[in-house]
Amino acid sequence: MRILLIKMSPVEGLNSSTLRTLAVADGLIRLGHEVDYMTIPISNCHVINKNTSIIDSLNIVRANHNQLYDSITVSSKKKSSLKSIFIKLLRSIYHKISIYDYTYNISKNVNIDLLDTKEYDIIISSSDPKSSHVAMRRLIDKGIKYNKWIQYWGDPLANDITHKSMYPKWILRIIEFNLLKTADRIVYVSPFTYKQQVDEFPKLSKKMMWAPIPYIKKKNYVKTLNETYTVGYFGAYKSRVRNINPLYNACKKMEGVVHLNIAGDSDIVLEECKNVCIYPRKNVDDLEGNSDLLVCMLNSSGMQIPGKIYHYAATNKPILVLLDGENKEEMKEYLESFNRYIICDNNKKEIEDTINWIIENPKDYSPCESLNSVSIASEILNGEI
């Protein structure tokens, strides 16, 4: 089949949403389908994914930049501190008054003539960003032909805890309903988000399903030669979404036993110490490979499951998942079904005890076979799980 994948963020960008979408693309190609991938150009503000082999297998179609936003984002890094603060304030205001991110203007003006063909068997629009679905509606208005439109959602719109918009939820629900109702199938990446959305939009429930996040390829690392057991947390840890303090404090206390590397975006400042290194958001392939233990952290509230939990299942390293939020018991039961994760509550004492147990009870791990790209892509196409 001829399939168009729409994701209005750079295909080379290093983030969970892009990795998830590329894994689906990989599965589609391995199933024998021809895949066009609509994206936007990358700018200097993005962290680049070094592993581009799957990208070379795709027919990449690039929409235009949002030149105004790009110039503001890039120039904010070059201006004086006062101007930089002002530009960050402008960006914050933009995100407050906008339901979508900066890619909305690109999406609502996307040019259908960029495509080599105007007819597809299946079109999959993938968020985040949620404007990917807006781009598809624009293509429909311009006459694109297709047999089935699948919306592939990470975070929902109204119930996204990372959403900063000033609009009340009831308005967001109306906008979300109008976006969802035009799809032939709606796929979520979490059973909890799926259940929440079925309850939220019962009229659309027959269109909805969920499928876990796939990985592109297995990562069988060689055993590390670390003198000190090395723990890695690589991902965002903004204070209103995730609480990293218990992990930080537990590992800090374990000086001489554990070394902790943290890399990711945040709004809090953690102090480096002898056995804790703090990095900004960056490509962490080397840090991941040099880790003896990979840590994932559930959000402090909501039903979303961080994509890292699934991506790490492609490795042969132990994975520690820190439970948090009001739905942690349900999520624990779900994660235990994979028989792949070590799980504990996100508190200092339990983290310390669990890491000590992992060190004292070494075990060989393997990539989780059920999360391979071919299996998940097939589920998304066929509407079965």
pLDDT of res. 166: 79
Predicted confidence (pLDDT) at residue 12 exceeds the cutoff of 60: yes
pLDDT one-digit tens code per residue, 64-75? 765 554 554 554
If you average pLDDT over residues 28-42, what whole number do you get? 95
Most confident of 71-80, 275-284, 365-374: 365-374
Predicted confidence (pLDDT) at residue 295 exceeds the cutoff of 60: yes
> What is the b/e burial string over 96-134, where b = at least 16 CB atoms within 10 angstroms of the residue's CB?
eeebbbbbbbbbeebeeeebeeeebebbbbbbbbbbbbb
Please give the class, per CATH, of domain 229-366.
alpha beta
pLDDT one-digit tens code per residue, 116-160? 999 999 999 999 999 999 999 999 999 999 999 999 999 999 887
pLDDT one-digit tens code per residue, 220-260? 999 999 999 999 999 999 998 999 999 999 999 999 999 99
Q: Mean pLDDT, the chain, as a whole number? A: 90
pLDDT of res. 189: 95
Sheet order of strands, 59-62 included: 59-62, 34-39, 2-6, 119-127, 145-153, 185-188, 208-210
pLDDT of res. 281: 81
State how far the Cα of 163 lies from the Cα of 128, in Å rounded to an integer.
11
State how far the Cα of 284 lies from the Cα of 219, in Å rounded to an integer.
14
pLDDT of res. 353: 98
Confidence of residue 93 (pLDDT cuts 50, 70, 90): low
> What is the b/e burial string over 335-372, where b = at least 16 CB atoms within 10 angstroms of the residue's CB?
beeeebbbbbebbbeebbebbeebbeeeeeeebbeebb
Amino acid identity at 61: V
If you average pLDDT over residues 302-309, what whole number do you get? 89
If you average pLDDT over residues 307-334, what whole number do you get? 95
In the chain, % helix, strand, coil (3-state, to 5) comes to: 40, 20, 40
Q: Give Cα 210 distance to the centre of its chain.
A: 15
Share of residues in the chain with pLDDT > 90 (%): 75
The beta-strand segments (E) located in 141-195 are 145-153, 185-188
3-state SS assignment for residue 200: helix
State how far the Cα of 214 lies from the Cα of 194, in Å rounded to an integer.
17
Q: Which residue has the higher pLDDT, 317 or 383?
A: 317
pLDDT of res. 284: 87
pLDDT of res. 70: 52
Q: Which residue has the higher pLDDT, 351 or 267?
A: 351
pLDDT of res. 161: 72
pLDDT one-digit tens code per residue, 333-354? 999 999 999 999 999 999 999 9
8-state DSSP, 84: H
pLDDT of res. 383: 85
From 240, 219, 238, 243, select the one nearest 319 (Cα to Cα): 219
* Helices first, then strands: H and E counts in the chain: 13, 13
3-state SS assignment for residue 66: coil
Predicted confidence (pLDDT) at residue 99 exceeds the cutoff of 90: no
pLDDT of res. 91: 60
pLDDT of res. 52: 65
If you average pLDDT over residues 6-17, what whole number do you get? 90
State how far the Cα of 384 lies from the Cα of 376, in Å rounded to an integer.
10
State how far the Cα of 139 lies from the Cα of 172, in Å rounded to an integer.
23
pTM of the complete model: 0.88
- The set of residues, in sequence order, having a beta carbon less than 8 Å from that of 250 and lying 6+ positions away, is 348, 349, 351, 352, 355
Enumerate the β-bridge partners of residue 273.
Answer: 276
Window from 95-104, 339-348, 367-376 with minimum mean pLDDT: 95-104
- Which CATH homologous superfamily contains domain 2-214+375-382? Glycogen Phosphorylase B; (3.40.50.2000)
